Amino acid sequence: MTASPSSIRSTIPNIVFLIRRNAKNPSLAWRLFKHLSSSSPSSALCPSSISAISRILARSNMLPELKHLHHLLLLHPSPSSPSSLTALALSSASFGLLDLSVSLLPSLRSLSPPPLSFYNSLIRSSLRFSRHDLVQIIYHDLLLSGGTPDVQSLNLLMHSLCDSSRLCDALKVFDKMSLKGCRPNEFTFGVLIRGYCRAGQAERALEVLMQMVSQGCRLNMVIYNTVIAGFCREGKVLEAEKLVERMREDGFYPNVVTFNARISGLCKAGMVLDAHRILRDMKEEGDNLGLPRPNQISYNLVLGGLCRLGLVEEGAILVEEMRRDGFFVKLESYNIWLSGLVRNGRLLEAMKVLEEMVTYGLEPNVYSYNIVIDGLSKQGMVLSARSVMILMKNRGILLDVVSYSSLLHGYCLKGMVQAATWLLHEMASNGCFPNVFTCNILLQSLWKEGRTWEAEMLLQKMNEKGYGLDIASCNIVIDGLGRCGKLDKAMEIVSGMWLHGSAALGELGNAFLGLVDDRNVSSKCFPDLITYSILINGLCKAGRLDEAKKKLLEMLGKNITPDAIIYDTFIHGFCKLGKISSAFKVLRDMEKKGCQPSTRTYNLLIWGLGRKNQISEMHDLIDEMCDKGVSLDAMTYNNLIQAFCEGGMISKAASLLNEMMKGGILPKLASFSLLIKAFCKVGEFDAAQGAFRTGLAICGEKEVLYSLFCHELCRYGKVLEAKELFQISFEKGFVVENFSYKYLIEELCKESRVDDAHSLLVAMINRGSVLDPAAFMPVIDALGRQGNKREADKLSAQMMDMAARHDDESYNIVSQHRSNIIGSKPHIHGTDGSMEDDWRTLLHKDDGSGIVMKVLKKVQKGWGQGSIPIARKHNVVLDDWESIG
């Protein structure tokens, strides 16, 4: 007997109730629904029941069950089937199962064309889940079903096109709206304005705003703020200010969002102090000037800007203000401050901030810890970074791939490849599987050390474990081959990459043949700008400039535009060979091609002229820099200082320091090092002492200045003065190993000052320094010649003890990793003072004089995954990965 419509209607609420009551147990809800649909399909397959069960299934991502539900609806057609299918599609879409929703469209269209609101809802869900590929399909289906898009449909389509960087297509839709009988509204203009601003075309966005006014659409605060923020992001602060004035004229008063846009723009343009002034006005004079009060974002923007400029002291003052005003309570603010401290080398303070967060009940997240781990690792303080990771584990925070990759990079920076390898194993054994970036860090270190076999083994394991080989992996291999003197093989692989992608690495040897499957053209690793930069750099360094030129022509033929780095590489290569005229031809060709020479470009040319002692030409080039608005930097002056020193014009070289400071350029350590060396060479030790003291006043109590001056004094016969300076350095707690103490001891013995050499050696031993045993020999020999056998024997015994302690630091690190992997208690602080040595080294990088610390590293840009220096070699065999991952 068929149930009456009234009985079906009374049953439906009961079915929906039963389904929803079991929502927390999707499997049970699904079994119940199937039972109900088999006994009463007409009531169970109605739109409200389908909506209830499909939402439960979609929330739990139960795709097979949802497909079965679709099949049930097709098996039991009824007048309500279109509505039920619509409910299934919308429920699936609301939880991101958009592919399933789109697959229902043909079924829906065959039964009854869905309403326009249904298509708009699907498109809206696609935008929410960034599935722009499906927006076009849904819109096309709307047209196939005979539906007419309304202004909302077209707005959503434009939104998708703008987010997909298809502004031209979005503009075409905009232009055709009136032809389709749809009048653009304020949302239409807002979508287009937002699209232009996100694409960095705020001027075009302003044109659309003016068009909006001309068509009688009402402006609002959101649109004004969008365009103002767009101008600020592009650094066009004046245009933003003009629009703010127009905004006031139209009766809209800037709110905190407007001011935050202005603050952000000023910070990005480097005008942080101006941004800080606006923040103060908002805080202190806001009511009097009619300004909005600052919010958390306002403070965070200025704090980040101060940190990026290295104004840490000013940042610390702002942090205290934020604390007083109740704005330093969010994790985001702490992370900005942590990042700023780490970026500026204030790692001890960063560690204190981590502790402070816990004290205040704000638990640092994995990002907070990763900031500190990364900073410590980049400074080579791997033991301290390791201790932070152990702290994370103890607090129940899972380490992620960034945590391990940062520490692995730190090991590679110190040349501790064996420790890095063990860390890779530990990472996988703890369930955090390395990605291709992590492996590339270790791969680069192996290639840079010339450990070709181990690098090849790692590449094989990467491929076997499915990590894949990306273009960075290929570039690392090509760079490694160049460093090993195998440039021809590197060029062979680059040529093969155009045909076979990363599979061209098979040409390294039989070990690679057939291992790399790169047949999918869309994912092939074709050579890029960095690939050719590496190749050209290697050829220029080898003096093969003609072949480098051919590679330049090849990349142009492949539509790869050379950048300033490639031109600079040619200039450096020609200058190195003394072909200055050829280097200048490259400069002029660079300008013709529209690639603007940088300060680095001119510095290379000035360096080349300095090598040939062409002083007047160097001055001419500096005049050209000034005429073209290219700023001079410390390296420019250092090149001049070096040329003057080598030409015997040391007083002129010294006068350049004043010229630098008048021009607002702070001399670097290299400037003072050059002068100290030059003055000592000609015997002007008082002048060298003056340069040394000035260097300390400007750069702070830097260990490198003490070490250099001590060595130069010793080198040119001022042994007693060198000993006195070394003792001062020793008392300051500088690392003895960074001084030429062996040379000093030997020179003291040569000048018959054995007692001085002996006392110096004993003082270092008593302080716990681990010395090179070779430093003992001159003193032992001298004591023996004096007949002081007792002291000589005592020193010989100490030398043997020191030899036993003079082991490689990385052995202890690897032992620690082995114990961690097998579950032994980790060794955090140790008893050998290694952790304390890390912090002592850090503390003496800056004397706390208030000068902003700058890390004096020459960064090589654009080569592989960064610059990892060649370090000590270890005999490491990569273990098999079969048991992990």
- The Cα 844–Cα 846 span in angstroms is 5
pLDDT of 337: 93
Mean pLDDT to the nearest integer, 549-555: 90
Three state DSSP letters for 474-515: HHHHHHHHHHCCCHHHHHHHHHHHHHHHHHHHHHHCCCCCCC
pLDDT of residue 448: 74
Of residues 611 and 23, the one with the higher pLDDT is 611
Q: Give dist(CA 830, CA 395) in Å, integer.
A: 21
User: DSSP E strands: which ranges in 292-376?
Assistant: none
Dmax (CA) of the chain: 125
pLDDT of residue 883: 35
pLDDT tens per residue, range 803-840: 776 554 434 444 544 444 333 333 333 333 343 444 33
Cβ pair 722, 714 in contact under 8 A: yes
Mean pLDDT of 382-402: 87
Mean pLDDT score, 504-512: 55
Spatial distance between the Cα atoms of 424 and 399, rounded to a whole number of angstroms = 13
Q: Quick check: 303 pLDDT over 90?
A: yes
Residue 10 domain flag: yes
Which is more confident, 418 or 528?
Answer: 528
Is 531 among the domain residues? no
State how many domains the chain has: 1
Looking at per-residue pLDDT, the higher value among 609 and 110 belongs to: 609
Q: Is residue 218 part of a domain?
A: no
Q: Report the alpha-carbon distance of residue 845 to residue 854 in Å, rounded.
A: 10
pLDDT of residue 805: 64
Least confident of 117-126, 191-200, 258-267, 284-293: 284-293
Q: Is the pLDDT of residue 605 over 70?
A: yes
267: confidence class by pLDDT, cuts 50, 70, 90: confident
Q: Classify residue 519 as exposed, middle or buried by CB count within 10 Å of its CB (0-12, 13-18, 19+).
A: exposed
> Stretch 765-784: mean pLDDT, rounded?
85
Q: How high is the pLDDT of residue 463?
A: 66
In a domain, 8, yes or no: yes
The rounded distance, in Å, linking the Cα atoms of 719 and 748 is 7
Torsions phi, psi of 59, nearest 5? -60, -35
Residue 656 has pLDDT above 60, yes or no: yes
Mean pLDDT in residue range 478-506: 82
User: In terms of C-beta density within 10 A (0-12 exposed, 13-18 middle, 19 or more buried), how is residue 534 classed?
Assistant: buried
∠ CA 608-609-613 to the nearest 5 degrees? 120
How much is the mean pLDDT over the chain?
80
- Cβ(469)–Cβ(459) under 8 Å? yes
Q: Residue 585: its pLDDT value, please?
A: 92
Mean pLDDT of 99-112: 85
Angle between helices 834-843 and 382-394 (to 10 degrees): 110
At 10, which amino acid appears?
S
pTM of the model: 0.59
Lowest mean pLDDT among 69-83, 136-150, 318-332, 582-596: 69-83
The whole-angstrom separation of Cα 726 and Cα 710 is 6
230-250 pLDDT, tens digit each: 888 887 878 888 888 888 888
Structure tokens at 336: 């900005």
pLDDT the model gives residue 660: 85
Measured CA to CA, the distance from residue 421 to residue 427 in angstroms comes to: 10
Residue 62 belongs to what domain range? 1-112
**84 within some domain:** yes
> What integer pLDDT is reported at residue 524 of this predicted model?
67
- Band (304; pLDDT cuts 50, 70, 90): very high
- How many other C-beta atoms lie within 10 A of the C-beta of residue 122? 30
Per mean pLDDT, which range of 363-377, 401-415, 598-612 is the poorest? 401-415
Indicate if the pLDDT at residue 699 is higher than 50. yes
Tokens 């600079």 appear where?
568
For 99-108, 227-236, 503-512, which range has the lowest pLDDT when averaged over its residues? 503-512
Cα–Cα dist 707/513, whole Å: 51
pLDDT for 336: 93
* DSSP secondary structure code for residue 849 in this structure: S
pLDDT at 320: 92
Residue 808 lies in a domain: no
479: burial class by Cβ within 10 Å (0-12, 13-18, 19+)? Answer: buried
Q: Rounded distance, CA 432 to CA 198, Å? A: 35
Report the pLDDT value the prediction gives residue 458, as an integer from 0 to 100: 77
